[in-house]
């Protein structure tokens, strides 16, 4: 029995399932929220509609968006991955101490960053899927090890990221399309394809109900492993994009991503207990988090009030998402 077939018998037919998943999952809600916030931003600060500002915003949001996308894969399979902080630091340090110039150099750096991420993801996957450790504890361990490695390679912020990376990747294509935005788009498209494969569907199935997934012939071990490796690759990409933006290395660069990545995932409507949601929501969730700072600044909210507003908006967004989700999917969920 193939995975897809088993899934089909397990649940309702797939297209409707996906539609419901999208609406109740909150990707649409967070997208609307993003648009509304951008409108608010543009209202306060008309230059927000300029290409320059938009490009800056994209550059600023891309690392978190990609990191959150990676985190989503693990969360969907019902797990927490703390190693996101470690991998971003490690790849950022690598970019700063071994800059490789030119477009080919950038490609090579990118490949190495993704390989670093994949390696850490594979270790996580082995510890969790094969040895049966709890995700949060195992990835805490790998995160700490990665932080240590970053410190060994670079004991204080410094180094220079290759100029080609730091200039070209923060620029625009044809003068209108921010490259960082295109890279995020590429991640979203790749996910859209991947989530239709057996492994992609398997991640949802394992996250929703491990036992049922296992009974219907899905290899829980392989699926979990794949989710961690995929996540690691995306963290590597996030570290790469972060390096392009900051143009320098910092052994603690990834620390601030830890909680933000989870917040973006949750804001994007992905259930933190697995099985429901998607990467698109997380990307917009990350966008909302970064945009929030801009809106609050433009609105003249300053000092410690910013924190209060951030928290209230975070909660309000989730509540709103729940309400809308409930209206759309009355009776459809379980």
Partner 1 sequence: MRLNKLMKGAASATMIAGLAATFGATLAQAQDSGSDKKYKIYLAMSYSGNSWQSEAANIVKALAKTPPYDKQVELTEVISGTDPQAQISAYESMIQAGADGVISFPISATALNRTIKRGCDQGVKFFMYDATVTEPCAYNVSFITAGFGENTAQALVNELGGKGKIFLSRGVPGNSVDKRHTDGAMHIFDQYPGISVAAEYYSYWDDRTTQQETAKALAAHPDVDGIWAQAGEYGAVQALLDKGGKLVPITGENSDGFRLALADPKMQDMGLKGVSSGSPPASAGYAFKIMMEVLTGKRDLEPMNIQYPLPWVPAADVKLCEGDTFENGCNVFPSEKVPSSFVTEVFNPTLLPELTLTSALDGNPTPGATIQPLPEEITKAPDSPGINCQRCEAPENQYELTKVKATVQP
Partner 2 sequence: MNQTTGNDGSATDTFAHVEDRRASSGIDRDLVNIVAVFALSAVLILCSRFVSPALGSWNQVLTILTLSSFLIVLSFGQGLVILVGGLDLSTPSLVVIGGVLATVYGSDGNAFYVLPIALCVCALIGLVNGAGVVILGIPPFIMTLASSIFVASAALGLTGGTPRGNSPEILAFLMKERWLGIPVVVYFVVLFAIVGWIVQSRTTLGRRLYAIGVNREAARIAGIDVGLTEAIPYAISAACAGFVGMMLVGYSDGATLRMGDSYLLPGIAAVVIGGSSILGGSGSFVGTVGGAILLTTLGTVISAIGLDQGYRTIIEGSIILVALVLLREDLFSGLRLRNRKA
Site residues (vs partner 2, CB under 8 A): 24, 78, 80, 82, 127, 131-138, 140-153, 155, 207-212, 214-215, 259, 262-263, 266-267, 271-275, 304-308, 310-312, 314-315, 318-319, 322, 325-326, 329, 333-334
Task: Tell me how far CA of residue 125 lies from CA of 83, 122, 146, in angstroms.
Answer: 11, 5, 15
**Contacted by 208, from partner 1, partner 2, none: CB < 5 to 8 Å by type:** partner 2
DSSP 49: G
Name which of 130 and 196 has its Cβ closer to partner 2.
130
Nearest to 246 by CA among 157, 177, 178, 183: 157
- Binding partner of 245, given partner 2, partner 1, none, CB within 5-8 angstroms per partner class: partner 1
Give the x/- contact pattern for partner 1 in 121-150, rule: CB under 8 A: -----------------------------x
Is 302 an interacting residue with respect to partner 1 (CB under 8 A)?
A: yes
Residues in contact with partner 1, shown as a per-residue x/- string from 241 to 260 under the rule CB under 8 A: -x--xxxx-xxxx-xx---x
Residue 300 binding partner per list partner 2, partner 1, none, with a CB distance cut-off of 5 to 8 Å that depends on partner kind = partner 1
Q: Which residues of 253-274 are buried (b: 16+ CB within 10 A; e: fewer)?
A: bbeebbebbbbbbbbbbbbeeb
CA dist 36 and 30 (Å) reads 10
What b/e readout covers 171-204, taking b as 16+ CB neighbours within 10 angstroms? ebeeeebbbbbebbeebbeebeebbeeebbbbbb
Q: In the complex, what is the shortest distance from the CB of residue 251 to partner 1, in angstroms, rounded to a whole number?
A: 4
**What is the spatial distance between Cα 290 and Cα 260, in angstroms, rounded to a whole number?**
10
Q: Among 60, 216, 271, 282, which residue sits at the site for partner 1 (rule: CB under 8 A)?
A: 60
Least distance from C-beta 311 to partner 2, angstroms?
4
| Residue from 97, 108, 212, 301 in contact with partner 1 (CB under 8 A) | 301
Position 239 contacts partner 1 (CB under 8 A): no
Partner from partner 2, partner 1, none binding residue 290, C-beta < 5-8 Å depending on class = partner 1
Q: Which residues contact 45 (CB under 8 A, 6 or more apart)?
A: 53, 294, 298
For residues 206 and 167, give the distance between their C-alpha atoms in angstroms, rounded to a whole number: 41
- Select from partner 2, partner 1, none the partner in contact with residue 333, using the beta carbon and a kind-dependent cut-off of 5 to 8 Å: partner 2
Euclidean distance between CA atoms 83 and 95, whole angstroms: 18
| Per CB under 8 A, 303 contacts partner 1 | yes
173 membership: H or E segment, kind and range: strand 172-173
For residue 272, CA distances in Å to 203, 266, 268 come to: 14, 7, 11
Chain residues in the site for partner 1 (CB under 8 A)? 45, 47, 53, 56, 60, 63-64, 150-151, 154-158, 166, 242, 245-248, 250-253, 255-256, 260, 290, 293-294, 297-307, 309, 312-313, 315-316, 319-320, 323
């Amino acid at each position: 029995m193939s995975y897809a077939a088993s899934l089909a018998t397990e649940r309702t037919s797939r297209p409707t399932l996906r539609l419901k998943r999208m609406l109740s999952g909150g990707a649409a809600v967070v997208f609307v929220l993003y648009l509304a916030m951008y409108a608010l931003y543009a209202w306060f600060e008309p230059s927000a509609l300029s290409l320059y500002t938009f490009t800056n915003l994209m550059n600023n949001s891309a690392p978190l968006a990609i990191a959150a996308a990676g985190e989503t894969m693990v969360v969907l399979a019902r797990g927490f991955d703390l190693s996101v902080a470690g991998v971003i630091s490690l790849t950022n340090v690598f970019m700063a101490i071994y800059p490789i110039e030119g477009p080919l150099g950038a490609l090579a750096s990118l490949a190495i960053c993704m390989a670093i991420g994949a390696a850490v993801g594979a270790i996580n996957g082995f510890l969790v899927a094969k040895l049966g450790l709890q995700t949060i504890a195992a990835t805490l361990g790998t995160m700490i090890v990665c932080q240590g490695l970053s410190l060994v390679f670079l004991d204080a912020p410094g180094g220079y990221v290759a100029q080609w990376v730091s200039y070209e990747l923060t620029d625009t294509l044809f003068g209108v399309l921010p490259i960082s935005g295109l890279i995020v788009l590429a991640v979203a498209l790749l996910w859209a394809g991947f989530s239709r494969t057996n492994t992609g569907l398997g991640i949802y199935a394992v996250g929703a109900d491990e036992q049922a997934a296992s009974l219907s012939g899905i290899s829980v071990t392989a699926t979990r492993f794949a989710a961690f490796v995929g996540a690691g690759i995306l963290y590597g990409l996030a570290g790469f994009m972060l390096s392009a933006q900051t143009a320098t290395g910092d052994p603690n660069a990834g620390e601030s991503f830890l909680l933000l990545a989870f917040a973006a995932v949750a804001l994007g409507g992905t259930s933190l207990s697995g099985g429901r949601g998607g990467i698109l929501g997380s990307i917009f969730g990350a966008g909302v988090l970064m945009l929030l700072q801009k809106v609050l600044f433009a609105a003249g909210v300053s000092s410690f009030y910013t924190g209060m507003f951030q928290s209230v908006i975070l909660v309000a967004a989730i509540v709103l998402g729940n309400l809308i989700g409930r209206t759309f999917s009355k009776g459809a969920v379980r």
